[in-house]
Structure 1
């Protein structure tokens, strides 16, 4: 079973989220067997990916960056976070208490050490803070982890 990690933007515009979801599901359907997904279950790309993996018969490992990680999620994303976390085959909790840029990057680094490839929902722009999507993609490439980018042409992550 192939292990795929996810990194990507949060708070995706509806049209972008819908297109990304469709593209991820097409990629998953094209595989010979279900995948093992690794995710932090952040709003946006992570939750889209996790739900698609589970819906196509795969399973997920969740890496929780910090004890207070859920508190830092957008309020609308918390219910989905709880549901997906409950469906995880395994959960790895880092020892951070606060949900910070450093704890997020540490979680991404941990994820990269557990995967065969990385899927990135990324507009190709620089990270807006340390540990953002661009930083994770750069680290993956530095460690020769194959990266597949999902981003609709002409789309913007700003609403």
Structure 2
């Protein structure tokens, strides 16, 4: 019995299973500070980089190609000054919580379907996990989920990385 691990000894738990890449945090337009702080806190605990990703609603990638091909043809004109506005606003809001981007965190603007865009980013960066906010309450949010689906549910079906869902508090 002396060679057995004692209950609660997790020193080898997850050894070789949990990847060491960055964390990808999907940040919606009206995010809760709690979501960003949860992502940043986990990144600090794990000692990894946090990539805050905003999927721009003003631009979509064509996603009609068969699985395995990645067409990056935008449906937007080459220069779209209106599309820059949400990205600047989002970056300013994130800097208000996390400070300026640098070694600890970075900011990416993605295009296309939210879940697919986040999954592509996670794959291309070899992310350890994805973090997204939970489902919002209310009729408008429920209607959006009916039309577009749930990002968190879609992510769990699109790839094999862990998906951490931070519950929405409604504040």
TM-score (norm 1): 0.48
Q: Could you say which structure has the higher strand fraction?
A: 1
* Greater C-alpha radius of gyration: 2
